[in-house]
Amino acid sequence: MSTNAFLAVYLGGGSTGSRMAAWNALPEAERRAKEQQGMAAWGAWVEKHHDVIVEMGGPLGKTKKVGQGGVTDIANLMTGFTVVRAPSHEAAAKLFENHPHFSIFPGEAVEIMPVLPIPGR
């Protein structure tokens, strides 16, 4: 059975999202405790799936969009990424069920998409 690469994009509601607002409303000590819990859970997720992680990726910062009109600053929901290998799209998606990004942290979801071959190669 062959494996394919899949890009997982972590999404969040930005600073105005309801989950982020609730997170920011937590008392600082409680928020720090949840951050530690979340990072421990994320580390456990990485350890559990280390054999299928192709690129750990990381958090994403502010976005610039480049087009025919030039360069502009934009906002989007992307907060981070990881690349994994899996035998199917469904199997790749299942790797992220109950992920700490949204089960502990205030992230909204994780979107998983196949990395397709470059046409003509």
Per-residue pLDDT of the chain (121 residues; tens, 9 = 90+): 568 999 999 999 776 678 888 999 999 999 999 999 999 999 999 999 999 999 999 999 999 999 999 999 999 999 999 999 999 999 999 999 999 999 999 999 999 999 999 898 8
HEC states along 65-103? EEECCEEEEECCCEEEEEEEEECCHHHHHHCCCCCHHHH
Residues 115 and 33: their CA atoms lie apart, in Å, by: 36
Q: Which CATH superfamily is domain 4-114 in?
A: Dimeric alpha+beta barrel (3.30.70.1060)
Delimit the domains of the chain by residue range: 4-114
Give the Cα-Cα-Cα angle 113, 81, 109 (nearest 5 degrees).
70
